[in-house]
Amino acid sequence: MSLVIGLTGGIASGKSTVAKMFAELDIPVIDADVIAREVVEPGEEPYKRVVEVFGKEILNPDGSINRPKLGSIIFSNEDKRKQLNQIVHPAVRKQMLKKKEDYIEQGEKCVVLDIPLLFESKLTSLADQILVVFVDAETQRKRLLERNQLTEQEAMDRIGSQMPLEEKAKLADELIDNNHTIEESKNQLLDLLRKWNIIE
């Protein structure tokens, strides 16, 4: 039996850092963000629909989607964000499920589904265990400002576009408290993997 872990968190919570830790332990990670980029590459069906809905002004000169430009539209407009999600999410879900089945068939003991909007997109049924990477609100705000060179308003818009981390933490099966050092977060992860009998 493979254990399927749904890994989520909030923007700037350190979820990607924890995903990297899984990968370093040779545990396959299926990244929803990577797949979301692949399904909107020129020529793919969702790409055509995104251009129809948002117009050609979101494109780069080479025809690819200008992600920052699209981001600035959807982070400040909930209706537009919903429209984009309705186009992209079904295609992402289909790809993730296919990859998950492939890994299970190959006999992997554990597969990680790295899905930032796991709760918001109601995808919890895809996983056996939900793992939330948690930081407090002030740490999240600080890290986001440092990492993305955003204005205070842009940072708050992005944080506000997701379910609050406290709520996610309440819905989790397990938590990694990422308020401290990377080393401490890694030790928490190793403890969980032992608990789940994935590693010795």
Q: Is 14 annotated as a binding residue?
A: yes
Strands 174-177 and 129-134: parallel
Q: Is 172 annotated as a binding residue?
A: no
Q: Is 161 annotated as a binding residue?
A: no
Q: Which residues pair with 31 in a beta bridge?
A: 114
Q: Is 64 annotated as a binding residue?
A: no
Count how many Cα atoms sit within 13 Å of the Cα of residue 60 in the half-sphere of its side chain. Answer: 8
In the sheet that holds 29-31, the strands lie side by side as: 29-31, 110-114, 3-8, 129-134, 174-177
Strands 29-31 and 110-114: parallel
Q: Which residues are annotated as a binding site?
A: 12-17
Q: Which residues are annotated as a binding site for ATP?
A: 12-17
